[in-house]
């Protein structure tokens, strides 16, 4: 059976740890030697495109990237036919899509592994980079606490699954106007992760080892940006909030960031910020995921 990585809970805890170990290998086997990986982006990307293309290169392969508008997913041809076509040329496929259901259709039709490069529900490669960063910064994750502040979105779902499966206490602070969706709560609970939900950030960060932010307006929600800036007032991560957490707390953000919206410039550009370590780890995460999908996964 071909395995795919559409969300962190496609992996068991042991598989996640195996993938992380592969990501941490300094000189992995060049398992893509002479082969390609097809990458399709329906949304903009800086980190994901560059880190994935470089990961393919480091494994001896060749990435071929196209934008969604070039191939016309479900307009020029169906997502299924695109998956079947890319499977003729490539050892793996990566897709960034709006609707999560679309990448599920790609995976169902592909005969090679498919990795989710972000959908409206999930961002698993980001979460793997986040746990690589947390391990580097905190050592063991068991019993440590991470607090996500802001919009309960795709990044939160994958982060909560990954950190919770590795034994962290996971908290989220979001306004009552943007509650954690029931489906997300159910999915996280089904993985055995107990997400603690707060409606104000200060109590949520007390004693946290890491505080995490993402944008308030995700790609595709741009028309809601003004309303969202209003809705998330009071949820900016600033130096006072870091102080409420404690002196050793680190700050994480998947990027891109909007300074003085979800995070103050003083925090993201300050001494507690580890956002560039996270960005670096995106490449290691992509390499680990490809290695696991191509060689490590039980079939
Ligand atoms: N963090 C992240 O996925 O960045 P990009 O959208 O630039 O790829
Ligand atoms: N939640 C953001 C993450 C960007 C990396 C979005 O989906 O746009």
CATH classification at residue 90: 3.40.50.1370
Indicate whether 114 and 250 sit together in one domain.
no
Indicate whether 147 and 231 sit together in one domain.
yes
For the chain, how far is it from start to end, CA to CA, in angstroms? Answer: 5
Quick one: which atom of ligand 1 is closest to the CA of 219?
A: 6
Closest of 120, 164, 159, 126 to residue 255, by C-alpha: 126
- Count of the separate structural domains present in the chain: 2
Instruction: Tell which one of 39, 44, 46, 274 to mutate to probe ligand 1, the residue whose CB is within 8 A of the most ligand atoms.
Output: 46
Ligand having the closest approach to the CA of 122: 2
Q: Locate 151 and state its tokens.
A: 């919009």
Quick one: which atom of ligand 2 is closest to the CA of 43?
A: 8
CB 19 within 8 A of CB 55: no
Indicate whether 145 and 217 sit together in one domain.
yes
Quick one: which atom of ligand 2 is closest to the CA of 151?
A: 1
What pLDDT does 299 receive? 56
Indicate whether 106 and 136 sit together in one domain.
no
Provide the whole-model pTM: 0.98
Indicate whether 54 and 114 sit together in one domain.
yes
Indicate whether 141 and 286 sit together in one domain.
no
CB 10 within 8 A of CB 160: no
Cα–Cα distance, 94 to 255 (Å, whole number): 20
Q: Locate 169 and state its tokens.
A: 């206490």
In-domain check, residue 240:
yes
Indicate whether 115 and 130 sit together in one domain.
no
Closest of 259, 254, 208 to residue 236, by C-alpha: 259
Per-residue pLDDT of the chain (299 residues; tens, 9 = 90+): 899 999 999 999 999 999 999 999 999 999 999 999 999 999 999 999 999 999 999 999 999 999 999 999 999 999 999 999 999 999 999 999 999 999 999 999 999 999 999 999 999 999 999 999 999 999 999 999 999 999 999 999 999 999 999 999 999 999 999 999 999 999 999 999 999 999 999 999 999 999 999 999 999 999 999 999 999 999 999 999 999 999 999 999 999 999 999 999 999 999 999 999 999 999 999 999 999 999 987 65
In-domain check, residue 37:
yes
**Neighbour count for residue 234 (Cβ, 10 Å):** 10
Ligand having the closest approach to the CA of 278: 1
Q: Locate 268 and state its tokens.
A: 């993201």
Which residues surround ligand 1 with Cβ inside 6 Å?
45-48, 118, 126, 254-256
Indicate whether 152 and 254 sit together in one domain.
yes
CB 171 within 8 A of CB 238: no
Q: Locate 264 and state its tokens.
A: 């103050």
The domain containing residue 166 runs over which residues?
125-278
3-state secondary structure of 65: strand
What pLDDT does 1 receive? 87
Indicate whether 13 and 142 sit together in one domain.
no
Cα–Cα distance, 135 to 180 (Å, whole number): 26
In-domain check, residue 2:
no
CB 84 within 8 A of CB 71: no
Evaluate: CB of 117 within 6 angstroms of ligand 2.
no
Indicate whether 274 and 285 sit together in one domain.
no
Indicate whether 254 and 141 sit together in one domain.
yes
In-domain check, residue 130:
yes
In-domain check, residue 73:
yes
Ligand having the closest approach to the CA of 47: 1
Quick one: which atom of ligand 1 is closest to the CA of 255?
A: 1
In-domain check, residue 71:
yes
């Amino acid at each position: 059976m071909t395995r795919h990585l559409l969300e962190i809970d496609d992996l068991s805890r042991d598989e996640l740890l195996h993938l992380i170990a592969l990501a941490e290998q300094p000189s992995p086997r060049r398992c893509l030697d002479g082969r390609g990986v097809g990458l399709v982006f329906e949304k903009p990307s800086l980190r994901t495109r560059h880190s994935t293309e470089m990961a393919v290169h480091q494994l001896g392969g060749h990435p071929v990237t196209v934008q969604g508008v070039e191939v016309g997913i479900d307009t020029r041809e169906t997502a299924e036919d695109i998956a079947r076509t890319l499977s003729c040329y490539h050892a793996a496929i990566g897709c960034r899509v709006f609707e999560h259901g679309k990448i599920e259709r790609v995976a169902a039709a592909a005969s090679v592994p498919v990795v989710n490069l972000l959908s409206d529900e999930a961002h698993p490669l980001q979460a793997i980079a986040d746990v690589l960063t947390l391990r580097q910064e905190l050592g063991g994750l068991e019993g440590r606490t991470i607090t996500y502040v802001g919009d309960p979105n795709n990044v939160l779902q994958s982060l909560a699954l990954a950190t919770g499966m590795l034994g962290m206490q996971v908290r989220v602070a979001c306004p009552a106007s943007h509650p954690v969706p029931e489906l997300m709560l159910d999915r996280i609970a089904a993985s055995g992760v107990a997400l603690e939900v707060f409606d104000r950030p200060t109590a949520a960060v007390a004693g946290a080892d890491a505080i995490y932010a993402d944008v308030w307006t995700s790609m595709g929600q741009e028309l809601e940006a003004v309303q969202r800036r209003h809705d998330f007032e009071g949820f900016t991560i600033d130096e006072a909030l870091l102080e409420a957490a404690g002196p050793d707390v680190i700050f994480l953000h998947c990027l891109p960031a909007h300074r003085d919206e979800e995070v103050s410039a003083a925090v993201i550009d300050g001494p507690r910020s580890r956002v560039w370590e996270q960005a670096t780890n995106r490449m290691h995460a992509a390499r680990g995921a490809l290695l696991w999908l191509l060689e490590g996964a039980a079939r």
